[in-house]
Every structure is written in structure tokens, then in C-alpha cells.
Structure 1
């Protein structure tokens, strides 16, 4: 393809993305550049308006008690935009309502603070509970631990478990210990995580499937297969039955340790024991063969996955990245169209790849055969 033809084709391609299929009925459809520009205008007033509307809705007891999704989505949206002061504004606003004296309601607010990474505000609310005439129990204490965990303040979670219960007269339960075990695993302090198992047993508690799955994730994800197998053996001695998450932990561990053939054998062993593989099981094997560069096996296991499940976003991203490296453009285009139709990915990265490889006509055919709303998000200079 000549340079002149390539330039013309790129312009044609850009034109496809800047024209909506609905433009015939709505001639004022904005271009991608215009949409991008408009998004950067008046962001703060937009979020302030969101907060205003949320506060107005909060006046309804029905909204406060039965619309938890609205609370979660609003906080998540503000957190993604780093509007933390506005999150504090709407959650502080909830103190004016009678539900603030109910521990379950306070736990919800603490959980939202935690999801936003605002552990200090969650702790402040926990400290204020007596003033709000709200009793503190192990449940709100666990919510506080979870807030520190979600905020990635892992070591602080362990310190809270060590210091607060005796001070407040609260007896930690299995959830408390499981939360701190998770925190230690996340920070890679596996010895500390194991010590928690000893501690909870001394308190008369027994580790459950959550305890063991957390530990197995921690060990296997670091390629410590032998240690993971020892934990597995301990789990069986305590008559705790492995579930699909348990098996997936080991599958991922074997893949992480570059033992893909062993992972396949373990996959078959799992099926023979009556454990039905889920999409994460297949994704683990696909990841292993992608990392090995084995195109034939990636195609095989992708096909096996599709017999039982629809690929998720992780599947699409992994397989598309691999196929691009292998220059398998035809298969990748088909998969990308499917993922776009399901609105799991946009075609930006794939189209960039086609253009960078000077595969302009393929890019045009891709757009013309699979144009969707998500495709309209693509932008070219």
C-alpha cells in the first residue's frame, strides 16, 4: 500500500468512527473529539449536583433502607474521580437520620468508606458510635478491619486486632481473624498469616474454608507449591472440604510456577472428583499456555471454555494480547468484535494495533462489519 493510499484509508477509517449510524435521524451527533472535550468541562459542578440529588433522595427512609446499590454506585463513582471530600459529605449527611443509631446502618457507611480507601474516616465513625447512641459489637469492629484491608493498610489491620478488642471489651470472631489473615497474605507476610491460625485456635475457634482459601491463594500465588500443599493437607485433616476456589488457587499456582502440564493434570483430577471447573479454571490454563507461547493449546482451551461459559473480560484481554503477538489477526478480529458486542472491551487497542501494522484495509473491514456503540469511542488523529 502506497503512503498516499494509506493516508486516504486512515482518513476513511477515522470518518467511520466519527459518524454514528443514527446520524441520519440525529444530525447533531457529536464527534469523539467533541465528546472528550465536553467531559473535561465543569466536572466538579457535575459531581456536586450528584451529591445534591443523593442528599435529596436520602430524605426518604425507603431510599436509605432499601437502595443500597445507589449508595455503593454513588461512592464508587466519586471515588473513581477522586472526589473524596464529596464522599465524606454524603456519608456525614447520613448522621442526621434515625438509622444512625443502628449498627447495621453504621456498618454500611464504614464499608463505603473502606471501599473508597478512606480508612481514617471509617475509624472516626467507629469511634463516634457511642456518641451516636449506637452499640459497638464485633460486627462493627470487623467492618473497621475490612476498611483498613480495602484501603491496603494491611499492617494496621493486624495492629487493630492486637490492640482494640481488649480495650473495648470486644471478643474477635473468625471473621476478624480471617480478615487479618487476608491482610497479611496481601502484604506477603505468610508467617504472620499462619500465626493467626494458631491464635484463633487458641481462642477456641476453628479455621474454615475461607481461612484455608485465603492462605492457599497467598502461598500458591507466590509459587510456593510445597507450602500450599501442606496447607491443603492440614485442611483435609480438619475435614474442611475444598471448593472450586480452592482448586483454582492451586491451578493458578501451578501456572505461576511454569508447571502448565501439571496444571492440566490437576484440572482433570478436579473434574474426576466431581468438581465442576468454572471460567476462572479455564482462564488459568489459557494464561499458562499464553505465557508459554503455545498457540495451538490457547485455541484449544479457549474453545473448551466456550463450550460451557461465555468468556469474561479477563479471557478476552489475555487471548487478544496473545493473538496480537502471534499475528493471528483474523481470529483476534472475530474475538474482538464479540467482546465489543458484549460491551466488555472497546476496540481501541485492537484498532491501534491494526493501524500500527499498516493493516488499514483490515481495520476498515473490521469497523464496517462490527461497528457498535463502543466502537464510536475510538479516536484517531
Structure 2
């Protein structure tokens, strides 16, 4: 491409980008409807959001059938670090008779947990007798989960021990599985395995969740031999592995760059009647991306598409690999698809690579495709 033509193409690309930004800043009236998925920047609007939520809470139907709205509202406020408003709308729920129902309180504790407000969840648990709400092992487990969601892993085991003695609620298998999860997240694998002895002393038997949690803890850290021992114990206990169990080992083998062993294990998985899911395919695609094997990446990507639609993990794994391999045409098509399906926010990285490679016309074609251009953040030389 001549310098003059290149400069003209670059100006055209910049012009397209600026036009798209202008259009995004001045949308037509039909597009001006409030989109609940968009973040609110003005603190005053967060307050108005909380006030509207509290007003809606006056409806029993809203309280009983709008669990998704509860979750999304708390998530939006948490993303903006509006923790006082989260406490405001959840404390507001205490004025309704639902607060005497354990299931309703559990929902509130889990919402606190997902916002990282484990102390507030604990306070609500402590207040349950005052709220005329009976505490059972279910609310105890919800509190443990709130600690997990808040990433307060080091407090889970101690909390279970303290509350068991303090309020006399006997933990169940869910309780111990949650403690195992916390230890695995901390990397305290010896402590995690020791919980199996504890629950068996209580007359409980580990289930598939117990083993899947332990296997994920070992395999994700590359401790393949230790994971194999747990797998053997699982079989000894007559616990039948499921697709998640197999996926955990697949990811472990891929993590250790043992792709040939992962493929052999895939075949073993199928021979035992376990149907691979999208996570199984993503594991092998990741393995071949790590190995730099374009042919195998596209082979497994093609096989995935025969049974599933790619998910976000698929796209964020394949697209950078294709750009690295200079497979821009293929990357462009997959990126357009991902953006059409709202699985990715933009194609800035792809356009940047095309510009770096002086493939300006291809960059122009991509931007002209009309896909979320306002989401692109281009870096022009």
C-alpha cells in the first residue's frame, strides 16, 4: 500500500470511529429508553435507584417473585461501591412479615455475601431470634456461603466450629462441603482432605460435590498425583464421577501442558458414557492454544460448534490465539459473531492488530460492519 493511500485509509478509519462515537452520544429517541444493564454514574441516581427498590418492596409479589431484581440491584450497587445503600435496601426488608421466614432471611444473607458484606450477613444471622425467625442448619449454611462469596475463606472453618457450640445446630454435609471449599480456595489442601475424616465421624458420607471440590483444588494447582489419590478414594466410596469431575481433571492436565494425556482422558471419558460439555471442549482448545497448534485449535473449535454455541471462555481463548497467529480474517469473523451475541464488549484488540500490520482496509471493513463501534477503543499510530 502506498503512503498516500495508507494515510487516506487511516483518515477514513479515524473518521468512521469518530462518527460512531458521535452517533452513540446522540442516540435516536427510540433508543433513549433507560437500559437497566447500564451503570449509573451519578451518586444521586444510585439513591433514587435504592428508593425505587424500597418502594417496589412494598409489594408482596415483588418480594416473592423478583429474586433476580434483588440480585441485579445489589450487584449494581456493589459494583459502584455503594455499600451503605445495599445495607439500606436490605435493612428495609425487615419491616415486612417475610422476615420471620427463614428462606427470606437466607436470601438477604446471600445478597450481603455476594456484595462482600459478610459482617452484615453475620449480624443478620445473629438477629434472627429477635426477628422471630427460627435458625436451622440451612441459615447456618447460608452464612458460611456468605463468607465464601465474600472471599473470607480463613473464617469459614472457625465459624462453623464456633456456631456449632454456641447455638447447638448440628452441621450437615453441605456445611462440611462449604468448609472444604474454603480450605481449597486457601490452598490448605491437607486441611480440606482432613474434613472427610470429620464428616465421617459424624456419620456422614462424602458425595460428588465433596470430591469435585477436592479434585478441583488439587488439579487446578497441578497436583496431579494427589488428585489421582482422591479419585481413587472417590471410586472406593462408590461415588460415580460426573462430567464436572472429568472436566476438573481435563483442566488439570491442560494446566500442566499434558495435552496428549488430556486427549486420552477425553476418550476414556466418552468410553464411560460421560458426554463432554462445552467446558470439556474449552479445556482442550485451551490446551492446544497453549501448545501453539492452530490446526488442532480449529479442529476442536469446529467440533464444539457441532454441539454447542461457543461461550465467552471460548471466544476469549480463541481470539487472542488467532491474532497471535496472524489469522486476522478468521479472527474477524469469530469476533463479529461474539459481538453480535453480546459475548464480548468490542473488537478493539483485533482492530489494533490490523492497524499494526498495516491492514487498514481490513480494519475499515471490520468497523463498517456496524458492530458496537462505540465500544471500540482504538490506538492509532
Q: TM-score, normalised by structure 1?
A: 0.92
| Secondary structure of the corresponding residue to residue 133 of structure 1 | coil
Tell me what 1:232 maps to: 231
Over residues 185-206 of structure 1, what are the superposed CA-to-partner deviations in whole Å (9 max), with x where a residue is unaligned? 0111000000111100000000
For residue 40 of structure 1, report the CA deviation from its aligned partner: 9.6
| Secondary structure of the corresponding residue to residue 257 of structure 2 | coil
Tell me what 1:299 maps to: 298
Tell me what 1:271 maps to: 270
Asked whether the equivalents of residues 101 and 133 of structure 2 are also in contact (C-alpha less than 8 Å), the reply is: yes
Tell me what 1:78 maps to: 77
Tell me what 2:115 maps to: 116
Give the unaligned 5+ runs of structure 2: 29-37
Q: Distance in 2 between matches of 1:76 and 1:314?
A: 22
Tell me what 1:366 maps to: 366
Q: Distance in 2 between matches of 1:118 and 1:27?
A: 36
Matches within 5 A, 1:73-222: 73-222=72-221
For residue 6 of structure 1, report the CA deviation from its aligned partner: 3.7
- Residues 166, 286 of structure 1: alpha-carbon distance in 2 compared, 3 angstrom cutoff: same
For residue 27 of structure 1, report the CA deviation from its aligned partner: 11
For residue 68 of structure 1, report the CA deviation from its aligned partner: 0.5
For residue 86 of structure 1, report the CA deviation from its aligned partner: 1.1
Asked whether the equivalents of residues 224 and 252 of structure 2 are also in contact (C-alpha less than 8 Å), the reply is: yes
- Residues 289, 123 of structure 1: alpha-carbon distance in 2 compared, 3 angstrom cutoff: same
Q: Which moved more, 1:41-50 or 1:170-179?
A: 41-50
Residue 15, structure 1, aligned to residue 12, structure 2: no
Q: Distance in 1 between matches of 2:373 and 2:270?
A: 39
Residue 280, structure 1, aligned to residue 291, structure 2: no
Q: Distance in 2 between matches of 1:7 and 1:202?
A: 76
For residue 87 of structure 1, report the CA deviation from its aligned partner: 0.8
Matches within 5 A, 1:9-88: 9-19=9-19, 28-29=26-27, 43-88=42-87
Q: Distance in 1 between matches of 2:248 and 2:208?
A: 13
For residue 124 of structure 1, report the CA deviation from its aligned partner: 0.8
Q: Distance in 2 between matches of 1:29 and 1:58?
A: 33
Q: Distance in 2 between matches of 1:356 and 1:45?
A: 43
Tell me what 1:377 maps to: 375
| Secondary structure of the corresponding residue to residue 81 of structure 2 | coil
Matches within 5 A, 1:256-267: 256-267=255-266
Give the unaligned 5+ runs of structure 1: 31-38
For residue 10 of structure 1, report the CA deviation from its aligned partner: 3.0
For residue 341 of structure 1, report the CA deviation from its aligned partner: 1.1
What root-mean-square deviation, in Å, do the aligned CA atoms of Structure 1 and Structure 2 show?
2.1
Q: Which moved more, 1:9-18 or 1:266-275?
A: 9-18
Tell me what 1:241 maps to: 240
| Secondary structure of the corresponding residue to residue 8 of structure 2 | helix
Q: Which moved more, 1:76-85 or 1:315-324?
A: 76-85
Asked whether the equivalents of residues 259 and 287 of structure 2 are also in contact (C-alpha less than 8 Å), the reply is: yes
Q: Distance in 2 between matches of 1:343 and 1:3?
A: 36
Query: How many correspondences in the alignment?
Result: 369
Over residues 199-242 of structure 1, what are the superposed CA-to-partner deviations in whole Å (9 max), with x where a residue is unaligned? 00000000000000000100111111111111111111111111
Tell me what 1:327 maps to: 326
Q: TM-score, normalised by structure 2?
A: 0.92
Q: Distance in 1 between matches of 2:283 and 2:302?
A: 14
For residue 353 of structure 1, report the CA deviation from its aligned partner: 2.2
Q: Distance in 2 between matches of 1:4 and 1:46?
A: 50
Q: Which has the higher contact order (CA 8 A, sep 6+)?
A: 1
Tell me what 1:355 maps to: 355
- Residues 42, 247 of structure 1: alpha-carbon distance in 2 compared, 3 angstrom cutoff: closer
- Residues 283, 380 of structure 1: alpha-carbon distance in 2 compared, 3 angstrom cutoff: closer
Runs of 4+ in 1 over 6 A off after TM superposition: none
